[in-house]
């Protein structure tokens, strides 16, 4: 079987750049935008509509991605193009519907936001929504490119383009600042135009490197009864997941805006920004493995899939658990040094939403595995439980505790999901729950204890004043503490230690071979 190790490293190298750019965005852009909490709340609400657009495939994209990956593994390019063309057709229909709905909201922004009243606030909301509608095809192009590059495990090419685009967005913020306030409409327009140019570069490179042209995709952009029949079973379960996920994970800003107003959205969005930041990182960490899961299924190598799944869970545990736990423990110091003490209401939200990602090293691979192996009934159960627990809790407790209940029940749902996924993985790996915990979870107990103890002690000495250098001090403290815990995890986890040692052996062999070729040439 073809090795994709080099591709993984290239993807992670670009992801390191992406993480750095995202951190710069948090440090540079958000403090300017958050100066006016109500305008920031409106901006956040408008931006979050992009998330709805990302789900416009109504579940067919995940199913299509699975089959496109399998066709690529079997070297059936024409079938792959047909799948992508069908997905483009679905995305196009819903992108147009999305644009129409957003244009209607742009004329009546008060339908979305409870306390929007001043002429300035209304003007900002109208213009942002209108621009969002006009540039909605950006998301369509990006989603198609993600399939083309993703099934080939060459995401690093598209990621590099997006890193450059995001760097330009950050650098441009200073051109839109006047008297300490950001021209948020001009900034948003520039971001959309820059993103479109970057995506067009991605289209050009897809044609040049893979001989996959958008012309051939457009030629196959139509409804295909044959394609629909082949993927509808998995697509319908993915559709249910999509609807459930939107109601559980993406609908809270709109509910808070309607129930508590734009300022409440601003406070809650600080936590959502951190959650989305980690979500983008973790999604990138697991994305290369997504295609590989489907490759194993296509080749019916289920033993290899089981071993691969266990390795992925183990090696990514420290990269996920330690940073999210660190942010939760340092939430007050982080928020105060980042955007100031006027956002003190965001501290508890950041702490709770950070913990939602604590067991993402289980949830992500288990979710990918359940789709790859078509466990549709299991998918329905988890999605249903999430909706019932989340909205049931909010309905019962919102009037007494306010919008903070959104964060509490989001954490409750992620915790319950982790339990479901743990038993699912045990069943797939054919391991007793106690053996599973002993091999994968117990080795992390001592490193986690070290992390908690060190941060509970160190946070008493960290600053609580808005300042970029102080923020850097908080971030470095979290990174160093997480790194120390990861070093300890190397000694407590045999699987992780073996994987890291093998990487160093391969690097050493590569250097030796390279040196040998060099001597031979000389």
R_g (Cα) of the chain, nearest Å: 23
Question: Angle 242-65-320 (CA atoms, 0-180°, nearest 5)?
Answer: 70
- Residues ≥6 apart with Cβ < 8 Å to 371: 62, 63, 66, 234, 238, 379
At 445, list the tokens: 């107990």
Distances (CA, A) of 279 to 47, 50, 355, 464: 16, 15, 12, 26
Using an 8 Å Cβ cutoff, are 145 and 151 in contact? no
pLDDT of residue 486: 92
CA-CA distance, 198 to 204, in Å (whole number)?
10
| Global pTM value | 0.65
Q: What is the pLDDT of residues 87-110, one digit of tens each?
A: 888 888 888 888 888 888 888 777
User: What are the DSSP calls for 46-111, one per residue?
Assistant: HHHHHHHHHTTTTTHHHHHHHHHHHHHHTT-HHHHHHHHHHHHHHHHHHHHHHHHHHHHHHH-GGG
Closest-CA residue to 416 (of 388, 394, 445): 388
What is the mean predicted confidence (pLDDT) over 233-257?
69
CA-CA distance, 357 to 359, in Å (whole number)?
6
**pLDDT exceeds cutoff 60 at 518:** no
**pLDDT exceeds cutoff 70 at 6:** no
pLDDT of residue 522: 32
In the predicted model, what is the mean pLDDT of the chain? 80
What is the mean predicted confidence (pLDDT) over 175-188?
76
CA-CA distance, 106 to 218, in Å (whole number)?
30
Q: Strand, helix or coil at 181?
A: strand
Closest-CA residue to 452 (of 484, 475, 428, 487): 484
Using an 8 Å Cβ cutoff, are 294 and 4 in contact? no
Quote the percentage of the chain above a pLDDT of 70: 81
pLDDT of residue 193: 92
Q: How confident is the model at residue 260 (pLDDT cuts 50, 70, 90)?
A: confident
Neighbours of 427 (CB within 10 A): 12
CA-CA distance, 425 to 403, in Å (whole number)?
34
Q: Strand, helix or coil at 178?
A: strand
Using an 8 Å Cβ cutoff, are 157 and 205 in contact? yes
Please indicate whether residue 182 or residue 485 has the higher confidence score (pLDDT): 485
Q: What is the pLDDT of residues 308-354, one digit of tens each?
A: 888 888 888 998 999 999 999 999 999 999 888 888 889 999 999 99
Q: What is the pLDDT of residues 198-220, one digit of tens each?
A: 999 998 998 888 878 888 888 88
CA-CA distance, 306 to 274, in Å (whole number)?
32
- Encode 133-155 in three state secondary structure: HHCCHHHHHHHHHHHHHHCCCCH
What is the mean predicted confidence (pLDDT) over 466-478?
91
At 422, list the tokens: 């743990």
- Residues ≥6 apart with Cβ < 8 Å to 205: 157, 161
Phi-psi group of 345: left, alpha or beta (phi > 0 → left; psi -120 to 50 → alpha; rest → beta)? alpha
What is the mean predicted confidence (pLDDT) over 45-57?
66
CA-CA distance, 444 to 451, in Å (whole number)?
11
- Residues ≥6 apart with Cβ < 8 Å to 54: 139, 143
At 249, list the tokens: 């994970």
CA-CA distance, 479 to 288, in Å (whole number)?
24
* Angle between the N-to-C axes of helices 262-298 and 37-54, in degrees from 0 to 180, rounded to the nearest 10: 20
Closest-CA residue to 39 (of 135, 133, 123, 151): 123
Q: How confident is the model at residue 32 (pLDDT cuts 50, 70, 90)?
A: low
CA-CA distance, 174 to 29, in Å (whole number)?
9
**pLDDT exceeds cutoff 90 at 172:** no
What is the mean predicted confidence (pLDDT) over 266-290?
78
What is the mean predicted confidence (pLDDT) over 109-123?
74
pLDDT of residue 322: 93
CA-CA distance, 304 to 288, in Å (whole number)?
16
- Residues 54/203/132/91 CA torsion (nearest 10 deg): -40
Please tell me what DSSP assigns to residue 494: H
What is the mean predicted confidence (pLDDT) over 18-43?
68
pLDDT of residue 519: 38
User: What are the DSSP calls for 299-365, one per residue?
Assistant: TT-HHHHHHHHHHHHHHHHHHHHHHHHHHHHTHHHHHHHHH-GGGTTHHHHHHHHHHTTTTHHHHHH
pLDDT of residue 461: 92
Q: What is the pLDDT of residues 501-512, one digit of tens each?
A: 877 777 777 666
**pLDDT exceeds cutoff 60 at 521:** no
Q: What is the pLDDT of residues 423-467, one digit of tens each?
A: 988 888 888 888 888 888 899 999 999 999 999 999 999 999 988
Closest-CA residue to 33 (of 151, 236, 194, 180): 180
pLDDT of residue 92: 87
Using an 8 Å Cβ cutoff, are 68 and 151 in contact? yes
CA-CA distance, 45 to 125, in Å (whole number)?
9
CA-CA distance, 68 to 204, in Å (whole number)?
20
Positive/negative CA dihedral, 203, 208, 209, 211: positive
Using an 8 Å Cβ cutoff, are 451 and 428 in contact? no
**pLDDT exceeds cutoff 70 at 469:** yes
CA-CA distance, 350 to 407, in Å (whole number)?
9
Neighbours of 272 (CB within 10 A): 25
Q: What is the pLDDT of residues 350-401, one digit of tens each?
A: 999 999 889 888 888 888 888 777 777 787 788 888 889 989 999 999 988 8
Residues in the chain: 522
Using an 8 Å Cβ cutoff, are 321 and 444 in contact? yes
Question: Angle 278-41-396 (CA atoms, 0-180°, nearest 5)?
Answer: 80
């Amino acid at each position: 079987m073809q090795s994709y190790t080099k591709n993984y490293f290239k993807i992670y190298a670009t992801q390191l750049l992406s993480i750095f750019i995202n951190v710069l965005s948090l440090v540079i852009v958000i403090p300017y935008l958050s100066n006016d909490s109500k305008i920031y709340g409106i901006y956040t609400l408008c931006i979050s509509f992009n998330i709805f657009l990302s789900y416009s495939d109504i579940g067919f994209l995940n199913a299509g991605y699975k089959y496109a990956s399998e066709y690529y593994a079997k070297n059936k390019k024409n079938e792959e193009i047909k799948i992508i063309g069908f997905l483009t057709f679905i995305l196009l229909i819903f992108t147009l519907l999305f644009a129409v709905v957003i244009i209607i909201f742009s004329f009546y922004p008060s339908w979305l936001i409870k306390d929007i009243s001043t002429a300035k606030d209304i003007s900002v909301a109208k213009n942002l929504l209108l621009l969002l509608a006009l540039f909605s095809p950006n998301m369509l192009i990006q989603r198609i490119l993600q399939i083309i590059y993703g099934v080939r495990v060459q995401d690093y090419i598209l990621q590099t383009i997006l890193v450059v685009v995001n760097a330009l967005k950050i650098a441009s913020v200073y051109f839109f600042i006047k008297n300490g306030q950001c021209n948020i409409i001009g900034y948003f327009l520039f971001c959309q135009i820059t993103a479109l140019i970057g995506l067009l570069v991605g289209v050009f490179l897809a044609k040049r490197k893979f001989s996959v042209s958008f012309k051939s995709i457009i030629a196959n952009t139509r409804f295909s009864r044959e394609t629909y029949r082949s993927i509808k079973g998995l697509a319908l379960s993915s559709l249910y997941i999509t609807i459930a996920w939107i109601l559980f994970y993406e609908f809270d800003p709109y509910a808070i805006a309607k129930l508590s107003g734009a300022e409440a959205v601003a406070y809650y969005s600080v936590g959502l920004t951190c959650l989305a930041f980690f979500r983008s990182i973790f999604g990138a960490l697991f994305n290369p493995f997504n295609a590989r899961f489907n490759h194993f299924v296509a080749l019916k190598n289920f033993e290899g899939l089981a071993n691969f799944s266990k390795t992925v869970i183990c090696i990514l545990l420290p990269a996920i658990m330690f940073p999210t736990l660190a942010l939760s423990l340092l939430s007050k110091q982080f928020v105060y040094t980042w955007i100031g003490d006027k956002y003190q209401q965001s501290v508890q939200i950041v702490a709770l939403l950070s913990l939602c990602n604590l067991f993402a090293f289980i949830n992500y691979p288990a979710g990918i595995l359940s789709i790859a192996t078509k466990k549709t009934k299991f998918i329905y159960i988890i999605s249903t439980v999430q909706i019932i627990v989340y909205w049931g809790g909010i309905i019962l407790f919102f009037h007494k505790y306010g919008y903070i209940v959104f964060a509490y029940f989001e954490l409750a749902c992620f915790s319950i999901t982790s339990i479901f996924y743990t038993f699912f993985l045990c069943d797939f790996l054919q391991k007793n729950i106690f053996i599973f915990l002993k091999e994968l979870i117990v080795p992390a107990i001592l490193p986690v204890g070290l992390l908690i103890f060190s941060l509970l002690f160190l946070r008493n000495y960290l600053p609580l004043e808005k300042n970029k250098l102080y923020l850097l001090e908080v971030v470095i403290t979290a990174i160093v503490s997480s790194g120390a815990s990861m070093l300890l995890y190397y000694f407590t986890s045999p699987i992780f230690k073996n994987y890291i040692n093998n990487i160093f052996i391969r690097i050493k062999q590569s250097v030796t071979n390279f040196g040998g070729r060099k001597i031979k040439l000389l």
